[in-house]
Amino acid sequence: MLGHALDYRLLRPLAHGANCATEESLDAAFREAPAGSIEAALPKLEKILARFEGALELRPGLRYLDMGCGTGELTLALARLGAGEVTGVDILPRNIARARSLAAGIGAGGAVHFACEDLHAWAPERRFDVLLSFDAFEHIADPRAMLERMSALVAPGGMAALAFGPLFHSPFGDHMWDFFRVQIPWRGLLFSEEAVLRLRREFFRPTDPARCYREIAGGLNQMRYSQFLRYVRETGWRFDSLACNSFLPRGSAARRVSDAVTAFPGVQDYAVHCVYATLRRQN
C-alpha cells in the first residue's frame, strides 16, 4: 500500500507471537500428537456436504478418490457416511502412515485404501467415479495443470467435487490470521507481500525462509475466482453445480447479495470467499 517499510510499521503493532513455532517443533508436535478420530471428522464432513447444497451425494456403489487426504480422517468419514470404495492419496509419507494406523485402529476393512503418491504422476489401476478435493485448490501450485491431470483419473461419466477457500483476493484470503490481533480485510492486497512475510517470519514461522506467498509451507497460488472459471473451461470440464460463499444460508438476504456480487465480472474476484463446485467432463 505504502511500500514495504511503511506497511511493516503499520502492521507490526497488530502482530502477535502466541502461535510462533519452528518447522522442527511442528514436526515433533505432529509425531507426538494422538491420532485423529472419525467422530471429530464427521461434523466437518457433514458441513462440507451441506455446502454443496445437494450436488454431492455419497453412494455405496461408487469408487471415490480423496485427493490430498492428509491424515485420512475425512477419507474414513466418507466411508462411514455411505461412500463405497474410498482411496485417499497424499504425497507426505507421515500423513499416509498416520491414516493407515487410524484405519487399522477402527477396523475400516477393504473399503478404504491409502496410497502415498504424487497425483501428477500416479497411474492407478482403475479410474474413479468421484474425485474429491477438500481445502486444497487454493494451495496447489498449478491448479490448471491439476484440472488437466484429473481428466486421467476420472471414469467415463464420473464427476469431480471441489471445496476450497478462502481465495487469495477475497477479504481474508492471505491465510495470515494466526499472527494478527486485528484482521484487516483484503490485507494481502492492501499491504506489500514483503512486509507481511517479514512479520510472518518474526512472529509466526521463524525457520520458514519464504519470500513470497507461493513459497510458504503449504503454498498459496493466489488464484483468482475468474481464473478458476477459465481453467475449468480450458481443461474440458463443465460445471454441474457451482456455489460461492454457501456458508451463508440459501435464501437469506446476505446470500442474495453475495450471489449478485459474485456473478459480476470484475468484482467477483474480491467477493468469492469459498467455492463448492461439482464438475463433469465435456467429452
SS3 annotation, 47-77: HHHHHCCCCCCCCCCCEEEEECCCCCHHHHH
Dihedral over Cα of 200, 203, 205, 210: its sign: positive
State residue 31's pLDDT score.
79
CB contact at 8 A, 269 and 224: yes
Say which CATH topology domain 34-169+220-281 has: Rossmann fold (3.40.50)
Cell numbers at 47, concatenated: 458441513
pLDDT at 22: 93
CB-based burial of residue 13 (10 Å sphere; 0-12 exposed, 13-18 middle, 19+ buried)? Answer: exposed
Q: Tell me the angle at which helices 4-11 and 193-203 cross, rounded to the nearest 10 degrees.
A: 40
Q: Which residues of the chain are in CATH 3.40.50.150 domains?
A: 34-169+220-281
**What's the number of CA atoms in the CB half-sphere (13 Å) around residue 282?**
10
Classified as helix, coil or strand, 255 is: helix
pLDDT of residue 152: 95
Q: Which pLDDT belongs to residue 158?
A: 96
pLDDT tens-digit profile of 232-253? 999 999 999 999 999 999 999 9
Collect the ranges in the chain with pLDDT lower than 70: 1
**For residue 161, what pLDDT is reported?**
98
This prediction has a pTM of 0.93
